[in-house]
Amino acid sequence: MQKLIDELENAEKHLQQEVSELKKKTAELETSLSLLRSTLESTAHGIVAVNLEGDVMNINQKFLDMWQIPDSLTLSQNSPQASLFFENQLKNPNSFRPFVGEVSSQPDFEGYNILELKDGRIFAQYSQPQWLGARIIGRVWSIWDISDYKQVESKLRQTLQQVQQLREQRANFISQVCHQFRTPLNVVSFSNSLLKKHIDEWTKEKTQPLLDHIQTAVEKLSQMLNDVLLFANAEVAKPNFETEPLDLVRLCNELITQIQKSSAHHINFVSEGSCGSVCIDEKLLEPILKNLLDNAFKYSASDSLVDLRLACESGKVIFQVTDRGVGIAVAERQRIFEPFYRGKNIKNIPGTGLGLSLVKTLVDLYGGEITVESEVDVGTTFTVMLPSVK
């Protein structure tokens, strides 16, 4: 009997030891689980672990917040609503399917992918198998928001493209400048050679045309140099824009008087609104109006009428220059603001092809707009809108 009692006491002690050991291991396990949960919740990534059956084994709050998952939604393979929930948020519904197919069909696959959401956000996802010893028991997804990075990347890419375009435009511009300068220089060189060779034997009637050619070529070179300098300086002009109160009616009348001294054209000037004191840069405005009026005179009959309309509205000034000249073909309107481009119907009318390009550059730098309406053999209207402060 005593032996039985001793065995029971020993068994009780052993059981108590096992219970104590079990409690200790349970406490250690709870500590480990607590550390795991704390680690999952402290990471900046959304994390979800799914077993081979497609059931969620672990998930952190960051994942729930990123996807804005409601408490009522059950995340599992047996929940069609779960898959539909993710599909409805994604531009490509098949790009993220954590509860179907991929877990069981490709258990050892490691993958990285970009998820584009319909609300504009962009997530990066990385998934890998979850191992227990040498056995795969599921898959873990790590997801993080890269929307800001993608925006910066997109802006950087656009900037690089713009830089490349500017380089190409600059190289093309220089090439065109050299080409345009070559023709009048050749005229000067050829005429000068003939004069040197025959100056003592030719009469004035024979030398005068060559001198006239030289004079015309020099004037063209001078005009081209002025246009090129204006065009080049326009790139750095905006920081130096000086907006001061300006009487636009007076400015237009003075400009008309100046231009008509060397032209037989008639200008019909009309102003609307309060244009007596408008804050705008005079140095910017003069080359814009002068080039538009010069073009109107150049490409219309010498005695025809040119309209200049000025309208001052709240926060903006509108200029319209209308001629009754050769007009611009529809197919050429997209190119008229390119440096050195000249229409096919201008025949032998002199010009550098830089005027409208300069106008467009100045208007753009000032934050304005320029539009054109034209009909061949009827006329052309250029409309310029510039921001202003009264």
Contacts of 107 (CB under 8 A, 6+ apart): 52, 129, 136, 139
The reply to whether 18 and 76 lie within a common domain is no
Domain of residue 349 covers: 239-390
In a domain, 389, yes or no: yes
Contact 270, 248 (CB under 8 A): no
Domain count across the chain: 4
What is the residue type of 137? Answer: I
The reported pLDDT for the residue numbered 369 is: 94
Q: In the chain, pLDDT over 70 holds for what percent of residues?
A: 86
Nearest to 70 by CA among 78, 81, 80: 81
Distance between CA atoms of 101 and 209, rounded to whole angstroms?
A: 88
The reported pLDDT for the residue numbered 381 is: 95
Contact 377, 308 (CB under 8 A): no
- pLDDT, one tens digit per residue, over 231-254 is 777 666 554 667 788 899 999 999
The reply to whether 57 and 162 lie within a common domain is no
The reply to whether 91 and 215 lie within a common domain is no
The reply to whether 167 and 65 lie within a common domain is no
The reply to whether 306 and 384 lie within a common domain is yes
The reply to whether 107 and 205 lie within a common domain is no
Contact 120, 147 (CB under 8 A): yes
The vertex-156 CA angle with 154 and 162, nearest 5°, equals: 105
- pLDDT, one tens digit per residue, over 7-61 is 777 777 777 777 777 777 766 666 665 665 666 666 778 888 888 887 888 888 8
The reported pLDDT for the residue numbered 10 is: 75
- pLDDT, one tens digit per residue, over 133-157 is 888 888 888 999 999 988 888 898 9
CA 283 to chain centre: 28
In a domain, 49, yes or no: yes
Long-range contacts of 212-221 (CB under 8 A, 24+ apart): 213/187, 213/188, 214/187, 214/188, 216/184, 216/187, 217/184, 217/185, 217/187, 217/188, 217/191, 218/184, 218/188, 220/184, 220/350, 220/352, 221/181, 221/184, 221/185, 221/188
Residue 75 has pLDDT above 80, yes or no: no
Contact 98, 79 (CB under 8 A): no
- Choosing from 145, 175, 205, the residue where a domain stops is 145
Specify the CATH number for the domain of residue 109.
3.30.450.20
In a domain, 293, yes or no: yes
Q: Say whether pTM exceeds 0.85.
A: no
Residue with the larger pLDDT of the pair 348 and 302: 302
- Choosing from 126, 145, 164, the residue where a domain stops is 145
The reported pLDDT for the residue numbered 33 is: 56
In a domain, 36, yes or no: no
Structure tokens at 354: 């830089």
The reply to whether 308 and 350 lie within a common domain is yes
- Choosing from 219, 234, 249, the residue where a domain stops is 234
In a domain, 37, yes or no: no
The dihedrals phi and psi of 122, each to the nearest 5 degrees, come to -130, 125
Structure tokens at 66: 């990123």
The reply to whether 247 and 340 lie within a common domain is yes
